[in-house]
Amino acid sequence: MTIEKAKIPAKLLKIEANSQLVAQAVRVYLSNQRSAHAKTKTRGEVNKTTAKMYKQKGTGRARHGAYSAPIFVGGGVAFGPTGEQNYHKGLSKSQNRLAMISALGLKSKVVWTMTEFEKIKGTKEANKELVKSELAGKKTLLVLGAKELKYGKMFRNLAQVEVANSLDVNTYQIMKSQQLLFTEAAFEEVVKKYVD
């Protein structure tokens, strides 16, 4: 296996990175990973007696009809999460494309490509090659081509390596990684999809 610095297309280097859009793309991705688990009980759901707290008139105090009111300890929660919140956000195709181009531009100094990786037979050998190339111990995103995904088995057990498909890789994965390692086919696919 041979690992070397990637030849970044001049067209990509000429494009000015939009760091604000990159941050937005990361925010959208993380928001879309959320699911609404939090839920509080309303005054109609808490287990409290329905008896009136004290008589309506004559006490000199404000009138109250239930122990389950939100102002009392143990009462229901007003305006709390219902478990039905929708955290979904979106980016347009053009925004997503520009965010990816910007992320690749910002990370252009740590982009590597590898060849002849098919000859590697196991995780141990794969780790040796990463050590040899001084990539071991760093958060590395390994991007494989659409027809190369079966080779991800060699790398997926390495603690600092995340394996991604060139057709699905996103801005968040690129930005959180210290090093980007592409197969030649994967790099061509990503450049064709987002830059050309």
Q: What is the pLDDT of residue 153?
A: 86
CATH number of the domain at 136, please.
Answer: 3.40.1370.10
Q: What is the pLDDT of residue 89?
A: 94
In terms of pLDDT, which residue wins out, 77 or 137? 77
Q: What is the pLDDT of residue 133?
A: 85
In terms of pLDDT, which residue wins out, 4 or 165? 165
CA separation for the pair 146, 87 (Å, rounded): 30
Q: What percent of the chain has pLDDT over 90?
A: 65
Q: What is the pLDDT of residue 139?
A: 92
Domain count, the chain: 1
CA separation for the pair 185, 8 (Å, rounded): 14
Q: What is the pLDDT of residue 11?
A: 83
Could you report the per-residue pLDDT of 106-160, keeping only the tens digit for each? 998 999 998 877 777 888 888 888 888 888 888 999 999 988 888 888 888 888 8
Could you report the per-residue pLDDT of 8-29, keeping only the tens digit for each? 888 888 888 899 999 999 999 9
* Residue 33 clears pLDDT 80, i.e. is over it: yes
Domain assignment present for residue 42? The answer is no
Q: How many CB atoms lie within 10 A of CB 144?
A: 23
147: Cβ contacts below 8 Å, ≥ 6 apart: 185
Domain assignment present for residue 115? The answer is yes
Q: What is the pLDDT of residue 102?
A: 94
79: Cβ contacts below 8 Å, ≥ 6 apart: none
Domain assignment present for residue 23? The answer is no
Q: What is the pLDDT of residue 182?
A: 93
Domain assignment present for residue 110? The answer is yes
Q: What is the pLDDT of residue 130?
A: 85
Average pLDDT of the segment spanning 62-66? 93
* Residue 42 clears pLDDT 80, i.e. is over it: yes
Q: How wide is the angle at C-alpha 23 spanned by C-alphas 194 and 180, nearest 5°?
A: 55
Please give the residue range of the domain that contains residue 117: 2-11+104-194
Could you report the per-residue pLDDT of 81-112, keeping only the tens digit for each? 999 999 999 999 999 999 999 999 999 899 99
